Every structure is written in C-alpha cells, then in structure tokens.
Structure 1
Amino acid sequence: MAEFMQFSISRLKGLLCGLGVVCCWTMAIPASLAAEKITIQLGPFQQTVEISDLEDFARSGKLPQDLQVFSSFLTPQVRGLLNQKFQVNPDGGDKFIDELAKTPQGKQLISSLGGIIPGSTSQSLKDTLSLTLRRVNGLSVLGFLRSYPGENITVDATKAVSFSLDFNPANLQSQAFGALLERELIAKSDVVLPKNINPAFAGNQAVQFVSLTLRDSRRNRTIPVDIYAGSAPTQKQTQQQIKQPLVVISHGFGANRQFLRYLALHLASHGITVAAIEHPGSNAIAVNHAANNSDLAKLLPANEFIDRPQDVSFLLDELTKLNSQPGQLQGKLNSENVTIIGHSLGGYTALALVGGKLDLGALRKFCSNSLGIGEAPGDWLQCAATGLKDGNFDLRDKRVRSAIALNPLIGNLFGKNGLSQINTPVLMLAGTDDALTPALKHQFTPFTQLRGSNSKYLLTAIGGTHLSISDPMYQVSEVTKIAKEKRGAETKNLREMLCGLSLAFIKKQTNEAKIYQPFLSSTYAQSISTTELPLRLVSDLPSNLKKWAEYAAK
C-alpha cells in the first residue's frame, strides 16, 4: 500500500504541477478551473474564462473566440494535460483521498492546492477530489474544477506558478548539479589574498548621481539612464578615473534601472563611472502595462532582443558627446572601453554586445518541438524571439570589451555555438535554485561554449535564486514575482561577493590588473562562502562535470 501511495502521489504531483503550469502560462487558464467560470489573479491582473470554452478546446483542439488571446500558450501539450486523467476505482475514492491526506507528501499537495485556490479549506479540497473521482471515474483538471462548489473559482496564479516551478525538471536538475559542484569545486589553489585590500569594501570617493532621459528618434524609444560617478579627492585619482572603463548595467525582464543600485554605488566609490540604463520595451512599466491590458502577445516583443543591445550602443554614442561637454561628467565617460553588466534578459543583452550570435534556427526548433508545458519561464520567454525575421544579426559593439552576465537568460538563443565566437572576458553567475532561468540550461551548459580559460569565470551560488543579487531595497513587480526567492539578509554574502568580484574583473582590464588578480580565484569565493549559501568560482568546468552538465541539460 505504501508503494502504491508513493506512486499515486507521484502521478498526482504531475497532474497538479501541470495544473499550476497551465495557470501560469495562460495567465487565465490553468491551475484550477471551476464550476462555470474560472477567475485568474496575477498581481493586479485578473481575467475570467468560461470552463465550457476550455472543455471545447480540450475536446476538439479548436480555440473558441474568447480564448484566441491565449493561442500562443494553448499548445497540444496543454490540451493533453486538460484531458489527462488519474484513474482510481470510484468505489474506493473516499478511502484513497483519506489515505492520501495522511501522508506527508499528500499533505503538501493539499496545502499547495489550498494556496492556489483562495478561500478553500483542506476539507473542501478533499471533498472536491472525492466528488471528482466518483463523477468521472478519474481525476482530471477539468473534472476537479467542475466539481468545486460555487459558480466561479478564483485562482492565485502566483502561487500556482510557484508550485509548478518547484517541480520543474530543469530546476531540479540544476539543484542536483549544484550539490555536485559544491563537493567537486573546493579550492585547491595556493592563492594568498592580499591583506591590505578588500575589493568588497566601499572605495573612498563620494558618489555623484545624475539622471538623464535620452531620446532615440530613429527607433522611437525614450531611454532613462542613471549615472553614478565618483568624485576623486586628488588630482592623481582624477587622472586614474579618466582611464577607468565605463560600466553599463542592463536590467532584466520586468525590472528597472534600480535593480543593481548597490553595485553601481560600490563601483562608483572606486572611481568607475556607471550608467544604469532602462529598456522601455521590457521594463517594469511595459510588462505591467501588457499584463493589465491582457496584451499577452506584447508581453515581450520579439524586436526587444534587437532593441536592447541597440539601446546600449545608442547610449554609448550619447555619452561620447556628453564626455566632451563642460560639466560634472566631463572626462568621466570612457565610452571606448566598456564593461557591460546584465541580469537575466540583461545577461542576454550583455552577451550579444560582446559577440554572441543569435541562432534563430536552433531556437525555433526548440520552441516548436521541445517546449513542454513544464518548462521554466525563461524557456518560454526566449521563444518570443522566434517572431524575428530571419537575418544575420550583428549586435556586437566593439566598444564593449568585457561582460558580466548575472543569471543570464540564454537557453537556446545562441544555439550550440553562438557563444564560441566571443573573444572578450566574460564573468557569468548561476544560482542552483534559480527556477526562472535554471542554471543547467541557461548558464552551465552555455558557459562551456566560451573559449579562453584565462578570460572566463563562472561564479555559482549553491542555493541562490534568480533575484538573490537584487538590491535589498528593490521592489519586485507583482507580475514577475512568481517563484520562491532568497533575497535580503540571507544573500548578503553573495552581494558582497558580487561587489568584490565585479571590481576585480573590471580592474583586470586596467593597469591595476596584478593587484586584483588574486581575487579572481576560487580562494576568494570560498572566503566569502557560508554554510547557508556556498560560493564557487571556476574558469572552466572539470571534464567530468562538463559531461554531466551536457547530458543532464538534454
């Protein structure tokens, strides 16, 4: 009986996980359909759908008029999920549910389902499950919703997505690989860290702040930019500052230019000028607007994969002009020697600017043939780029001479070889508990494409999530708050590491390279590592781990 219950729970997890996934991607159809109608809530977004329309789709595969807006998400896999049944003898349905509710896994499932359906109780959920089993001789998504009491059922999409992400296969693989990394990548180097310098400490320069709004009339884009610049106290430091690289920070999908504010302040305090750009087509304002207006097709426009790198190139053109004009920024904007720092979709932006080549053929193949209902949000978001017209996109800007890609959204965007053409230094960050861009698919495997062991680095946060490196004061948008995150105090050491490592990485491009080289080591990473959030830094994956990553990512 115990083995049967364990098998049954596994099957139920798959069904309920799929139920949560459906809700997530249609924003108005998954996780829990109800008596007559289902209302999906996702932050400020809310929409109601007739269950009969979903039943028509499940039966015929044709989309009723009211579901046309969700055509991109109602795939054959979703239809199969809606028709899937978990078979149990109807005469023993009540006993099965009672036994299920006594197991730890069953309690977890019912508790998760209770969070997805506001106002429900464990008893009402068990009663609904029992009724569903008796009515349709099998538990299905549609059957459950039809059996739930009331004419309308409300679903909390955020919790539904969070539940489905917990069981995302790629996420679970990344977590397992992270545990392996923690064991295998213990530092064996004899690097001695200097005692008279700590790159994670703030510098001695006061930080000046300037906010600009730039207008690119050719592309009809208004681009806000925040400039952080150090105020050098001595003439010698002023001359050094002129020679420092300029840093551009590119935020992720649904975020804004304040996402990495602490990092910008840190670098500026060391005399490195930082320009934090905001991309108008994929920032928090644009994403919230698309969600509130049910405009799912415009949630991430295909051309944003081209516009984002071009935003940065346009910014550099404008800063070149500003650098020669009298004012507090004169001489501080070295736009000919740039390090780009990007998070998530900004990580893609960074890699494209240093020579990563889009591979639309590989991406379309994945999105057409391999994109399953249980895939992570990053896998779905990348598929927005399939709407681009074929072409040889050259997004590289030779002024950008190094890149820091933090939890980058990569997946299949560059295919199997698109990153191999990069010949500039790259630092990449992966979090093993990142449910939005799972590390195996989006960081570990793509990292193996990069060449030059002396110019590439992979920092892994064992247990880190997608937003672990965000500014503690940054307010996450409701639309993008869909997974469990480790932020704030519990990831303080990771932010400290990012400050120190980023500074050392940037300084490697200057005449101070020898001073900061020891901090580009596994020894430094482990000096900041904690039991709760272990950190590992490598310049290449060992061959056994590389093969493991390639196999697990298939």
Structure 2
Amino acid sequence: MNKRAKISRVSLVSLLSLGLVWGGGILPNLFKPKPVLGAEEITFSYPPVKVYMSVKNLETFVNEGKITGDFGVYAKLIGKTRVESLRQVLGRRFDVNPEIVSRAINMPLADPIFERLGQVLQVEANTNGSEALRTAIITAASDPGGFTLLNVIRKFPAESIQVDANLIFQLAEELPILLEYREAATQAIIKEAETEAAAEPKVDFSQLPDLRETGPYQLTKKEVSFQVRNIRQTETGLAGSYRLDVDFLIPEGLTEPVPLIISSHGFGSYKGHDSLARHIASYGFIVATPEHIGSSLNYREAFIRGEVDLLLSPIEYVSRPLDIIYLLDEVEKLVKTDPFWKKLIDFNNIGVIGNSFGGTTALALGGAEINYNRLQQQCTPENFSLNVSLLLQCRAVYLPPNNYDLRDPRIKAVVAAHPLTSALYGPEGMRKVEVPTLMVAGANDIVTPVIQEQIHPFLWLNSPNKYLSLLNPGTHFTSTLRSDTKGVAGVPKFIIGENFDLGRPYFFGLSTAFFNVYLKQRQQDLPYLSSSYNKSLSQEGLDINFIQSLSLEQLETAYGKSIPAPLLPKGPIVEVPQPPAGETILEEIQRTGVLKAAMRRDAVPFGYIDDKQNWTGYCSEFLNDFANHLTEKLNTPVKVQLVRFPSNIDNRFQIVRNKTVHLECGPNSIRNNIPGISFSKAFFITGTQFLIPAENEDKILPNTSLDNVKTGVVKNSTNELFIRQQYPQTDTVFFRGENAISEAVKAVTTNRIDTFANDGILTLGEIFRQKLPMENYTLVPEKPLTCDFYGLVLPNNDTQWQRMVNSFIDSQQAEQVWEGWFTFAFPYVLLNLDSCVNR
C-alpha cells in the first residue's frame, strides 16, 4: 500500500472510530438534562379544586407524623383514615437492586403502565411525566438510605409535580375494597371447607401413609432432546427451530407401565431445579420436566444482562403448551416403537402440573383457551389496576387474533398452583377446562392476586372434579420455595412471606394424592382429597382450607353486598371484530395502535447492546421516531406503541414473511430474489472488506486467490456468497449465530484466522465495541469489493406500507436520526457511493 493510501486509510479509521464514540452512546451523555435537585411542590388537581403542597411539609408528615403548613389543606380534603394510609405507603422502605429496577422499568412491558402513570404525574400541565418518573425511581433505588415512595418524590426531576388526584382517589378506594373483599372471600372458603368436612365420612387419618414424605422408589434420570421445527423466542432471539431438552425421572424396578406427568416450570426457572417432580416420581410416576427456553432461568438472566429486550414474548403463551404437545408427540412415537419406553409408560394416563406460569401452561393443556376478546377489553391504558400479573398477561394481546385452542386430549388431569388466568383466559376460556383440576392458592399472593387469579377462576371451571386449596396466609412462593431463597434474591420479604417453606411438603403430597386418584385410579386415596384431611394438616403459621365447591352467592353473603366489579365479569364480553380480510399493515396499526418491528443486537452501530446493557443503535432511534410519525399520520387516538423484537441474520426474513413483525431494521443488503420480501429505499451503503492485522496487510492481498488463507465469514450473509464465488480456493471458516461478528473479530485478534470478510461498517463497529486498538488493524481494500445498499426488510405485498416507510426515510426527522449516528461516516458513504455508481 502506498503512503498516500495508507494515510487515507488511517484517517478514515480514525474518523470512523471518533464517529462511533459520538453515535454509540458516549456523546449523548453530554446532552442529558442537568439534574434537578428534586420536586419542591406538588399540585393536586381535583376539579374544580387545586391544592398546592410543599414536598417539605409532606416529608415532615411522613417522617414525624406532624401535619404542617399547606399539607393540612390536603389532609382535610381526603380525611384522617386516608392520610394515615398515605403515610404508611409513602414511608415504607424496600430493599431493591438498582440494576434490576433500571432494567425492569425500562423494558417495553412497563411502557403502558408508565404512560398511564405519566398522565397522572405530570412534569407540567398536560406534559406526560413517564420519563421523569423513571428517572426518579432509578435514582431513589440507588439511594443508600433505601427505596421509598417519598424518596421517589424527592428525586422527581422537576420543580413541581402536577398530580391528577382522581386516579389517586380511585386507587385509595380500590385498595381497601380489595383487601376487605379478599378477607371476606377467605372466610367464605373457610366456612365452605367446614361444611364439606362435616358431610364427609369419618376416616382415621393416622392410618394413611404421609404422602408429604418421599416415596419408596429410587429414581434414574434420563436426559432427552428433541428438535422442534417451529418459531420460538429464545435468549438469542426468534428462532425458526429449536432444541427441546427434557429430563425424565424414572422410578427404578417398575414391573408395569405407569402414568406420565409433565412438570412445567415457572418463569425464570429450569428443568433441573424441580424437587416437586422428584417427589411425585418417587411414588411410581414417570415425570418429564421440559425446559421452556423462552421463559427459563437462562432467558431471565439474559434479560437482566440486557441481551434480551423482552421480559416475556407474547408468543411464549403459545410456545409453552406447544413444547409439551411436541414432547407428547415424540414420547408417543417412542412408546410405539421403542421397547424401553413401551414397558415404562402408560400413555393412556397423562397429567400435567405447574406453578405460576407453569400453572397457566397446565391449564391451557387442560382446555383453557386464550381469550383474545377479553384481553382486548381489559388490556387498555384506561384500565389501571393493582393486579400486577396483568403486566404479563397483557403481553398476549399482541398475539395475532386466532383460535388458540391448545388443549391436548391426552391430558387427563391438571394441577395448577398460583396461575395467571383472569385476562388471559377469563370466564369464557376457563369454562373450557373439563378434566379433573386442582388449583392451589395463597391468600396473600401479591404476584398473582388470589381473588382475580385463582378464586374467581375456580368458580369459572366447568370440570365436575375440581378442587381449590387455599393456604392462609400463603404467598406466591408458599407451595414451592425452599428455605434457601437464593432464587428470589432481591424480592421484598413481604412478597415472599414469613412462612413460605411450610406449604412446600404439603403441596408435594397433595399433588401426589391427586394424581394417584385421577391417573392411577386409586379410589382408596380419595380421603387425601377431603376437606377434613387437609384441615388436619394445618399448623401454626399456615391454615389449610380445601374445597370442591364455591358459588357467587357464598362470596356475596360473606362480603355483605355485591362483590366489587370488575373482578368477576358478568355477562358476555363485547366481541372484538375480527380483522377484515386483506387488511393492510397501516390499517392494522391504526386499529391496534401497535407497530411491531425487529432489529439486531449484534450489529454496531445499527442495533447492539452497549456497555450499560441497553439495546441501542440507529435502528432503535429510527423506529421510535417512526412510531411517533405513524401516530401523527394515522391520527390514532392514542400514541402508536413500538413493540421491538430481536432479529438475527437467520430469522430476519422469516419473521417479516410470517407477519410476526411489520418490518425489520438492520444491515440488510437490498436484493430482489428473496421470496415474500421487498425492501425500503436505501439508507446506507457499504461493502465487503477484509479485516487484517496491520503487520499482515502486505501478505494477504484481495487481488490474489487467497489460497491457503483462513478467511472468516458470517454464515447466511451476502459476504458468504461473495467469498464462495470470488475466492473458491480460500480456506473458509464459518461463524454462526448472534455472536458471529464478535467471534470472527476475536478470531482475527487471536490469529485463529488470517482475515475476516465482512461489511466494512459492521467490522469497524465491532472493533470499537471490543475496544481494540484501531492502529493494529486494517481494512482492505480501501474501496469495498461489493456495493451493498442497506434497506429495511418489508413484506412484498403491501405497497401502501412501503410508501409510508420510504416517505419517512426521506423525512427531515429521519435525516436527523441518520446524522446523529452517521455524520462521521459521510466520507465513507460518499467514497462507496462514488465507487459503486462510477465503477
């Protein structure tokens, strides 16, 4: 390389590295708004009254119980009881992990609730305070003094907080009603359990084996994997196929086939951590524990690290039951063809058990149907609720409208502990469950509130053999959590509960008895499913009430009046119209208010995970602004919500073609030979260049055959095709998956390969991300060997949508986004454009 070219190359690299610093997130920190010390005044708007209150007087009241200054006006307005409740709520201290809090409140899942809260807590009149509230929460969570709601107010980055008091009063009314009604419902169940116990035949329970103890069988674990060809959310993005890993726990010494039970783990757990499965198997059942990779421990940890932007993908509500259906399909084949399995499994008697999200999965297999109409009705910004489980349930509203009948007729019995049900299934969906069903609930469950998620759904069940066990004062964790609480580190103690370990052996024994009766047809075990037996297992700190029947009239009698709406929906819901045939993407977005878009996490600077574990890049900003653009152009009643999906080089076309997303933004070379796919107009230009250690730049020359040169290339990329055609004699080394570019660059730095052929802009971006010394590497040739124009991936049958996307790319708003990320690259783009146009 001559001296002039060398200088040109070094200048270009320096320019690019500087620009990536600007565009990659360092410079934007300089433009963050200057921190405000905190709110000094709160304005409560309760038309026609406005009440002004200093934060200092509020602080005095919370800390000392003294009503001073203008806080006295507010105290008189809401009454003595509410004021004291307010003090307790604002002053309660929580131990939280600031990093997890930051990740949680910035995930798309939390957007609707913060948008709603931002309408209540405004930085000024008619200015949504959602972002200010997020800032205040993160700052308060990092305070050494502990996290309190009062501290959130102190840290609110505005001089005044404008509060819509209507919602405050609404919540203040709702909370005591819920607590009062929950207590009344608990008393109704206690009374029903006493009535049922009185009518049962007398049994000497001391003669019954204690099923809480481990059973007589020793176990052998057999690990099996099945390849499933179906779209699936994984910790590395959406995949077109995936491996389903299953542990089978097999009792030793079986003399005849025994029932099979599938144990579905909860969100953030995994197949190997299932002591419940081992307990049941010890009583002569084969238990299979599949790992649901879209909601496993690995997935949860990937989310916390920032590698996955979605805490829960909507598709997980379908994928989990399908995991078990695919598993049963494979086991059925094994039972028919493999003598080993045939002698073990009684395939006519299969049950499913699950806790939390696993319980929701179990109910789906038992017949509960996803109730799309109910979801549409309940999951709106206007329906603000204290039921936090709706945050997860309402993810299912983004599923395409469909008849999601996931019932498997091979399932003969279901156990569901602490499931999420109210909006996802509703009375209409739960009514479809007709197999024997056991539900277990904790009276003080805050994660899946017992009234909405278990007690009312128990009324909705249509099964002639249904049971509800209420653990009082049980929580969401009472049935399964060990005395070792490492799995829930950071969860406040009041959510876990004081006596969380008392219900675990009870739940294990109860589940065993239930499956003995309904899978092994052991009628002699029916006493275990009696109210009187279960009551006999109560102990200090945990009262057990077991029932087979409950009615709306009993609940209303205990409450003393009609139960609070809308906890038990009465009458049919309004049918949500099905999308019209031939609906365009723009019509769908106008109807739903949702833009579904995908972007990469491995392609600096288009879409990537930065040092702070944020999912960022040009595409992130482009898509956010595009959603705002659609709100304006389509004149939607609410702001168009952007739902981001992770994409990768293998699934980027598939997820657009099958309508999982409306578009995909990333480094996609425009081509005309991809079935079902078209592209937007170009927004960037680059091309193939070779990354080479600086000391080898004279040894590896692109104008030679590259014979005996180890050349890395990303599988399924346009560069792979180019290398195959132009350098058939080179020793090609393929890199696959989401970390392909990262691993290939590392391979060059460690001399495992001689060079890496890739789009120049992506290689430079990865060098920057890995903080490699730029002067140690070179990209050759100076002008890329190919001309790759990047466009957004779009479906090929919607010209109206393509015009809308192209018009935004041409807009001043999009131009500003481009300049913010790529001004540094303008000489590079101009050089490539000149080379491509004039070659």
Q: For residues 389 and 466 of structure 1, what CA distance do their matches in structure 2 show? A: 30
Q: For residues 104 and 299 of structure 2, what CA distance do their matches in structure 1 show? A: 23
Q: For residues 69 and 470 of structure 1, what CA distance do their matches in structure 2 show? A: 26
* Cα deviation code 1:146-170 (max 9, x no counterpart): xxxxxxxxxxxxxxxxxx9xx7975
Q: Note if 1:185 corresponds to 2:193.
A: yes
* Cα deviation code 1:478-521 (max 9, x no counterpart): 68836634479x34542222222212211222454221011111
- How far residue 543 of structure 1 moved from its aligned partner, in angstroms, is 4.9
Aligned to 1:284: 297
- How far residue 258 of structure 1 moved from its aligned partner, in angstroms, is 4.1
Q: For residues 150 and 330 of structure 2, what CA distance do their matches in structure 1 show? A: 62
Q: What is the DSSP-based 3-state SS (H/G/I as helix, E as strand, rest coil) of the residue aligned with 2:121?
A: helix
Q: What is the DSSP-based 3-state SS (H/G/I as helix, E as strand, rest coil) of the residue aligned with 2:513?
A: helix
1:9-408 correspondence runs (5 A): 9-12=84-87, 41-43=98-100, 46=102, 71-82=111-122, 116=141, 118-120=143-145, 136=160, 170=178, 173-174=181-182, 177-182=185-190, 185-186=193-194, 187-188=197-198, 189-194=200-205, 195-219=207-231, 220-232=241-253, 238-239=255-256, 242=257, 244-259=258-273, 261-293=274-306, 295-296=308-309, 298-323=310-335, 329=341, 331-368=343-380, 371-372=383-384, 375-408=386-419
The one-letter amino acid of 1:76's match is R
- How far residue 277 of structure 1 moved from its aligned partner, in angstroms, is 1.5
Q: For residues 426 and 358 of structure 1, what CA distance do their matches in structure 2 show? A: 18
Q: Note if 1:538 corresponds to 2:547.
A: yes
Aligned to 2:517: 508
Q: 1:479 to 1:120 in 2, by over 3 A?
A: closer
* Cα deviation code 1:230-260 (max 9, x no counterpart): 112xxxx512xx1x3210011122222245x
Retained in 1: the 8 A contact 2:103–2:306? Answer: no
Retained in 2: the 8 A contact 1:228–1:268? Answer: yes
- How far residue 364 of structure 1 moved from its aligned partner, in angstroms, is 1.5
Retained in 2: the 8 A contact 1:182–1:462? Answer: no
Q: For residues 216 and 107 of structure 2, what CA distance do their matches in structure 1 show? A: 58
Aligned to 2:482: 472
Q: For residues 280 and 477 of structure 1, what CA distance do their matches in structure 2 show? A: 18
Task: Pick from 461, 465, 470 the counterpart of residue 471 of structure 2.
Answer: 461
Structure 2 residues not aligned, in runs of 5+ = 1-66, 68-74, 126-136, 165-171, 232-240, 569-839
Q: 1:390 to 1:204 in 2, by over 3 A?
A: same
The one-letter amino acid of 2:120's match is G
Aligned to 2:761: none
Q: Note if 1:441 corresponds to 2:452.
A: yes
Q: CA RMSD in A?
A: 4.2
Q: 1:408 to 1:392 in 2, by over 3 A?
A: same
* Cα deviation code 1:443-487 (max 9, x no counterpart): 00011011244x100011011111112252776556883663447
Q: For residues 226 and 282 of structure 1, what CA distance do their matches in structure 2 show? A: 17
Task: Pick from 431, 436, 458 the counterpart of residue 442 of structure 2.
Answer: 431
The one-letter amino acid of 2:396's match is A
Aligned to 2:42: none
The one-letter amino acid of 1:79's match is Q
Q: Greater relative contact order (Cα 8 A, min sep 6): structure 1 or 2?
A: 1
Q: What is the DSSP-based 3-state SS (H/G/I as helix, E as strand, rest coil) of the residue aligned with 2:182?
A: helix
Q: What is the DSSP-based 3-state SS (H/G/I as helix, E as strand, rest coil) of the residue aligned with 1:78?
A: helix
Question: Identity over the aligned pairs, expressed in percent?
Answer: 24
The one-letter amino acid of 2:470's match is T
Aligned to 1:52: none
Q: Note if 1:410 corresponds to 2:424.
A: no
Q: For residues 323 and 127 of structure 1, what CA distance do their matches in structure 2 show? A: 61
Q: TM-score, normalised by structure 2?
A: 0.48
Q: What is the DSSP-based 3-state SS (H/G/I as helix, E as strand, rest coil) of the residue aligned with 1:551?
A: coil
Retained in 2: the 8 A contact 1:193–1:519? Answer: no
- How far residue 345 of structure 1 moved from its aligned partner, in angstroms, is 1.3
Q: 1:284 to 1:273 in 2, by over 3 A?
A: same
Aligned to 1:528: 537
- How far residue 363 of structure 1 moved from its aligned partner, in angstroms, is 1.0
- How far residue 307 of structure 1 moved from its aligned partner, in angstroms, is 0.6
The one-letter amino acid of 2:116's match is P
Q: 1:84 to 1:326 in 2, by over 3 A?
A: same
Q: What is the DSSP-based 3-state SS (H/G/I as helix, E as strand, rest coil) of the residue aligned with 2:331?
A: helix
Q: For residues 388 and 208 of structure 1, what CA distance do their matches in structure 2 show? A: 39
Q: For residues 336 and 313 of structure 1, what CA distance do their matches in structure 2 show? A: 15
Larger Rg: 2
Q: What is the DSSP-based 3-state SS (H/G/I as helix, E as strand, rest coil) of the residue aligned with 2:144?
A: coil
Retained in 1: the 8 A contact 2:216–2:282? Answer: yes
Retained in 2: the 8 A contact 1:251–1:343? Answer: yes
Retained in 2: the 8 A contact 1:288–1:479? Answer: no
Q: What is the DSSP-based 3-state SS (H/G/I as helix, E as strand, rest coil) of the residue aligned with 2:386?
A: coil
* Cα deviation code 1:366-388 (max 9, x no counterpart): 1115542x523311100000000
The one-letter amino acid of 1:278's match is E
The one-letter amino acid of 2:505's match is E
Q: For residues 434 and 146 of structure 2, what CA distance do their matches in structure 1 show? A: 57
Retained in 2: the 8 A contact 1:199–1:503? Answer: yes
Q: 1:42 to 1:428 in 2, by over 3 A?
A: farther
The one-letter amino acid of 2:245's match is P
Q: For residues 286 and 80 of structure 2, what CA distance do their matches in structure 1 show? A: 60
Aligned pairs, how many? 455
The one-letter amino acid of 2:317's match is F
Q: For residues 399 and 151 of structure 2, what CA distance do their matches in structure 1 show? A: 49
Q: What is the DSSP-based 3-state SS (H/G/I as helix, E as strand, rest coil) of the residue aligned with 2:430?
A: coil
Aligned to 2:83: 8
Q: 1:305 to 1:321 in 2, by over 3 A?
A: same
* Cα deviation code 1:340-398 (max 9, x no counterpart): 001111111111111111111111211115542x5233111000000001111121111
Retained in 1: the 8 A contact 2:266–2:357? Answer: yes
Q: TM-score, normalised by structure 1?
A: 0.71
Retained in 1: the 8 A contact 2:121–2:162? Answer: no
- How far residue 427 of structure 1 moved from its aligned partner, in angstroms, is 0.4
Retained in 2: the 8 A contact 1:459–1:536? Answer: yes
Q: For residues 142 and 402 of structure 2, what CA distance do their matches in structure 1 show? A: 46
Q: What is the DSSP-based 3-state SS (H/G/I as helix, E as strand, rest coil) of the residue aligned with 1:444?
A: helix
The one-letter amino acid of 1:227's match is F
Q: For residues 175 and 211 of structure 1, what CA distance do their matches in structure 2 show? A: 45
Q: 1:424 to 1:209 in 2, by over 3 A?
A: same
* Cα deviation code 1:414-437 (max 9, x no counterpart): 122211122210000110111100
